Amino acid sequence: MPSLTTLRTAALAAVLALAALQAPTQALAETDIRFTLDWKYQGPTAAFLVAADKGFYAEEGLDVTIDSGNGSAGAVTRVASGAYQMGFADINALVDFNVQNPGQSVKAVMMAYDAAPFSIFTLKKNNIEKVEDLAGRKLGAPVFDASYKLFPAFAHETGIDDKSVERVNMDPALRETMLVQGQVDFISGHFFSSMLDLKSKGVKEEDITYFLYADYGMDFYGNAVIASGSFIAEHPDAIAGFLRATLRGWKDIIADPEGAIEIVAKFDPLIDKALELERLQLALKVNVLTPHVQQNGIGDVEQARLTNSIAQLALAYGLKETPEAAAIWTSEFLPPAEERKLSQ
């Protein structure tokens, strides 16, 4: 009969062997996620950067890499191609992509901008006082700008002759400069971007005229977290974990916006911290913390509103079909509504 010491030694060896077998399994269980932003590292995307920097994603067993982007259309394409598993993009660009590319399904899984930031900007000196004054004038914007892509829908809703508006496309860095220099009559852009970029170029706020698409019957949603169809099918738990961690990021940046900007500066040391803080606060006030979000929490959508906006988009874009909301959106990975409440 083996001695007690021998039995203890054998038991210890078995435990150590089991631990050795489990260790690589646990390491392999960590899921890699390449995440693409729609644009540069800025204040409004701080929730993701904070979640990465403070280890919220790591605590969910995720190894998340966050890259800057070159527009929502590009972000959707990156995710659809498989180069990125998840991203941050305008849900309307997602609708357009899915219709144009059947079989490469991408879905939105968490809404961030309950109120879309789509806008038109001009200067008082251009004598554009009302929407009708845009007809026959010159619009400038990057070709992939979401507000630019949606301008035909805006024109349709407001009765402007879309074909009467001359288009000038330029690099994003030149958009506000060309307006200030008078090379274009008006520009399109996100409210929290173009407004602040014009002010940073010395334009006084009282000298700026702007038109928010949302004020003209275009009740669109804005940017959302998106994921590829294959990643949704293969890693549902990872998506749920990513959203839990991102929710912590949103709560963190609302509680400490100044600290959030310090983290954004880790990703891009060249940012203007004061400008990005103002950009973050403006985005939170206008686009994120809407009355609906304050009452119901961040992340989910109203199905009727989403369905209506998809139909509106399909009509304006002349899409060959109007997709069902379920083909674009799923809320199955969101944390419970009570957990998604945000306090200012």
> In terms of C-beta density within 10 A (0-12 exposed, 13-18 middle, 19 or more buried), how is residue 299 classed?
buried
Q: What percent of the chain has pLDDT over 70?
A: 91
Q: What is the pLDDT of residue 344?
A: 67
**How confident is the model at residue 301, as a pLDDT?**
98
In this prediction, residues 174-179 reach a mean pLDDT of 97
Q: In the chain, which residues fall in CATH 3.40.190.10?
A: 31-112+221-340, 118-216
The total number of residues written for the chain in this structure: 344
The pLDDT of residue 42 is 97
- Whether the pLDDT of residue 6 is over 80: the answer is no
Report residue 147 as tokens.
């507000």
Q: Comparing C-alpha atoms, which of 94, 72, 164 is closest to residue 313?
A: 94
Reported as half-sphere exposure (CB side, CA atoms, 13 A), residue 308 has a value of 10
Report pLDDT digits (tens) over 265-288.
Answer: 999 999 999 999 999 999 999 999
Q: Could you tell me the pTM of the whole model?
A: 0.86
Query: Could you say which architecture CATH assigns to the domain 31-112+221-340?
Result: 3-Layer(aba) Sandwich (3.40)
Question: Rounded to the nearest 5 degrees, what angle is found at the Cα of 151, between the Cα atoms of 147 and 153?
Answer: 115
d(CA 127, CA 129): 6
**C-alpha distance from residue 87 to each of 77, 114, 277, 281 (Å):** 10, 17, 23, 22
Question: What would the pLDDT profile of 31-40 be if each residue is shown by its tens digit?
Answer: 999 999 999 9
Q: What is the arithmetic mean of pLDDT over 205-234?
A: 95
Please state the separation of Cα 309 from the chain's center in Å. Answer: 17
Give residue 341's pLDDT.
96
The confidence score (pLDDT) of residue 343 equals 78
Residue 25 has pLDDT above 50, yes or no: no
Q: Please report the pLDDT score of residue 146 as a whole number.
A: 85
Nearest to 276 by CA among 299, 253, 250: 253
pLDDT tens-digit series, residues 192-204: 999 999 999 999 9
Task: Round to whole Å and give the CA distance between 310 and 96.
Answer: 9
Band the pLDDT of 68: cuts 50, 70, 90: very high
Mean pLDDT of 127-149: 94
Count CA atoms within 13 Å of residue 142 on its CB side. Answer: 18
**pLDDT band (50, 70, 90) for residue 317:** confident
CATH number of 118-216: 3.40.190.10
DSSP 164-177: GSEEEE--GGGHHH
Distances (CA, A) of 150 to 29, 133, 174: 42, 18, 20
Question: Tell me, what DSSP letter sits at residue 336?
Answer: P
Distance, in Å, from the CA atom of 334 to the CA atom of 241, rounded to the nearest integer, reads: 9
Is a pLDDT exceeding 90 seen at residue 20?
no
